[in-house]
Amino acid sequence: MLHGDHDLTPLRDQIDTIDSQILKLLNQRAGLAQSIGQVKAQTQAPVMRPEREAEVIRRLLVENAGPLPDSSIELLFREIMSACRALEHHLVVAYLGPEGTYSEQAVWRHFGRCIQALPCSTLEEAVGCVESDRADFCVIPLENSAEGSVSRTLDLLLQTNLLITAEVSLAIDHLLLTRASSLAEITEVCAHPQALAQCRRWLLANMPNAQQTAVSSNAEGALRAQKNVHIAAIAGLVAQQCYGLTPLAEHIQDDFNNKTRFLVLGRLKSGVSQADRTSFILSVPNQPGAVYRMLEPLSKHGVSMSRFESRPARTGRWEYYFYIDVLGHQDEPALKAAIAELQACTSFFKCLGSYSAVV
């Protein structure tokens, strides 16, 4: 025994006792989850209820008195729910790969580790995996706080019949990853176009002569950096660990509040939670006052809009699709009434789903 360890023995004994109690309680919780699974099997109810899991997290964060921070509480209980859920069914979740992308990080953040994560080469493939029942859900990036929306995702939302079942907000912390020992050795920086844009000022100030090469994902850039000592990648901690690279610089994003919002798509219609968001795609004829009339039902019924974005409809007649997020669930009376009026005054109406807003 090391000097002074005898002073820690009573505290360690208490921790061992508590750990045994936690283990017993975790297995009690797992047993209850199995019982719920048996009831669900009889009624063919879905294994995962995103609104229920969101409410559990919200309640625990309200009850949390520390010293563990809220972020740790959320992480721990996401994993507990993931492990209990896996006793019923191992979910398959598709995402834009390869391994080491921020999309993969968003998968773990929302679903926990007790799932099968399925990397895909394109966003279309990730969505297609759910449409063809090869995956239960997919996670795709929607928008970045610095660089705006992902246009391909907007197109896919228009085309697919899948629903948004949840959203994930992920803080983006970029590292410069390489096998080189100094910036002077690096001749090329590879990353997704948005990552290059998010680090524009840092690259100009610190690596003005390095070639910037846009690739399909930050993980693809990390793979290239793994193979060539003169290449650096812009990626996150997961990519660093996955590809065994060294961070020559950290926090290189120009905006330190940089976040990306991801959507979880599936066939499941989420129920009402304590704080929901609903997303639509709308279109109106190219006539004076048409957009005003489109938005009027929301104001009339007291529905708050949190996002409004237009995208060309590609008809050649200067018409647009409008992507709108509002607060509330489509089954709640006020929003239900607004939706009925929206359907009457729009030439195109698509509800992408209601889902629990990010905790």
Mean of pLDDT over the chain? 91
CA distance 197 to 189: 12
Average the pLDDT over 113-117 and give the result.
Answer: 94
Place of tokens 């195109």: 348
CA distance 309 to 352: 15
Average the pLDDT over 151-160 and give the result.
Answer: 93
Which of 4-13, 43-52, 208-217 has the highest mean predicted lDDT (pLDDT)? 208-217
Question: Which pLDDT score is estimated for 318?
Answer: 58
pLDDT range class, residue 42, cuts 50, 70, 90:
confident
How large a percentage of the chain has pLDDT more than 70? Answer: 97
Question: Which pTM does this prediction carry?
Answer: 0.86
Q: Whole-angstrom distance between the N-terminal and C-terminal Cα of the chain?
A: 45
**Per-residue pLDDT tens over the stretch 136-146:** 999 999 998 87
Question: Which pLDDT score is estimated for 107?
Answer: 95
- pLDDT exceeds cutoff 60 at 151: yes
Question: Which pLDDT score is estimated for 285?
Answer: 80
Exposed e or buried b for every residue in 219-248, given b needs 16+ CB within 10 A? bbbbbbbbebeebbbbbbebbbebbebebb
Question: Are 303 and 351 spatial neighbours (Cβ–Cβ below 8 Å)?
Answer: no
Question: Which pLDDT score is estimated for 3?
Answer: 58
pLDDT range class, residue 5, cuts 50, 70, 90:
low
Task: Classify burial at 356, counting beta carbons within 10 Å of its beta carbon; exposed 0-12, middle 13-18, buried 19 or more.
Answer: buried
**Per-residue pLDDT tens over the stretch 62-78:** 999 989 999 999 999 99
CA distance 286 to 94: 38
- Cα–chain center distance at 179: 29
pLDDT range class, residue 238, cuts 50, 70, 90:
confident
- pLDDT exceeds cutoff 90 at 317: no
**Per-residue pLDDT tens over the stretch 79-113:** 999 999 999 888 999 998 888 888 999 999 999 99
Beta carbons within 8 Å of 302's beta carbon, 6+ residues apart: 334
Q: Which residue has the higher pLDDT, 300 or 44?
A: 300
In three-state secondary structure terms, 8 is: coil
Question: Are 176 and 252 spatial neighbours (Cβ–Cβ below 8 Å)?
Answer: yes
Say which DSSP state 244 is in. T
From residue 277, give the alpha-carbon distance in Å to each of 33, 34, 327: 27, 30, 5
Question: Which pLDDT score is estimated for 337?
Answer: 95
How large a percentage of the chain has pLDDT more than 90? Answer: 68
**Per-residue pLDDT tens over the stretch 301-311:** 999 999 999 98
- Tokens encoding 2: 């090391």
CA distance 254 to 324: 28
CA distance 78 to 99: 21
Average the pLDDT over 111-133 and give the result.
Answer: 95
